[in-house]
Amino acid sequence: MSDDLRDLLAKAKGSATAGARILRLDALGHDPGLDSERDRWGLDAFRGRLVELSARGATATLTTATELVLEAQHAAEPVAWITLSNTTFYPPDLAASGVDLSALVVVRVLDATAAARAAERLLRSSAFGLVILDFGGTPTIDLPTPHQGRLVTLAQTHDAAVVCITEKPGEAPSLGSLVSLRAEALRLHAHDHDYDVTLRVLKDKRRGPGWSRTTTLHGPPGF
């Protein structure tokens, strides 16, 4: 392991003590049953699983993924974000939401196969608690089953979560049969600077599909 990577991982593990880094898109309200569903949603619920966040239109996939990054960083879990060259990943947006960019590994690749290979290599290091594969800017993604299988095996072996971001309507099929949970993340304006993020679970191998989670977030002025 290089000295630069050691330094970055040390920063990632120390980011939990940086109390000033709090999500600025603060949750102002939530479904009354949300507290009882913590075992359904979040980093701990996703460990050892291949998860897909998808939507088309008024999407909230990046907001939802950012919440997971913040959760991981506050738990001192290093995070990697793998993105294609044509996606909308914009680091200042994450920084504005409270993400510690100095403790976030960002990898840019050309296609889905390269993204999967990069994720496999990162997971094998056993250093990362969350790996995000951002396919958001690509309408059609082909992630071969062998790659999905290796990602699931590595996630289970190293107690990590693998989350894929895709752009597609709810009726479209998931990335593959090895996706353990798929949720459609949509954003709806509420009032003033508030907006609702609704997660509609389309697939959940552990608990069954059909449940949802709605959170009211506070965006920046002019959002």
Domain layout of the chain by residue ranges = 3-14+49-182
Task: Measure the CA–CA gap between 88 and 200, rounded to whole angstroms.
Answer: 22
Give mean pLDDT, residues 192-221: 77
The pair of three-digit structure tokens given for residue 10, joined into one six-digit string: 């040390």
Pick the more confident residue, 110 or 27: 110
Q: Which of 31-45, 70-84, 114-128, 174-188 has the lowest mean pLDDT?
A: 31-45
Contacts of 26 (CB under 8 A, 6+ apart): 217, 218
Write down the H helix ranges in 3-47: 3-14, 43-46
Q: Are 80 and 105 in contact (CB under 8 A)?
A: yes
Task: Measure the CA–CA gap between 141 and 84, rounded to whole angstroms.
Answer: 11
Which tens digits make up the pLDDT trace of 48-66?
A: 999 999 988 768 898 899 9
Residue-level pLDDT at 28: 33
Please return the burial class of 152, using the count of CB atoms within 10 Å of its CB with bins 0-12, 13-18 and 19+.
Answer: middle
Residue-level pLDDT at 3: 58
Give mean pLDDT, residues 132-141: 86
Query: What is 3-14+49-182's CATH topology?
Result: Rossmann fold (3.40.50)
Q: Measuring CA to CA, how many Å separate 74 from each of 109, 122, 129, 199?
A: 27, 20, 12, 22
Q: What is the pTM of this model?
A: 0.81
pLDDT at residue 188 above 60? yes
User: Which one, of 30, 24, 58, lies nearest residue 216 by Cα?
Assistant: 30
pLDDT at residue 221 above 90? no
| % the chain with pLDDT above 70 | 74
- Total number of residues shown for the chain: 223
Give mean pLDDT, residues 12-33: 41
Which tens digits make up the pLDDT trace of 74-92?
A: 999 999 999 998 776 778 8
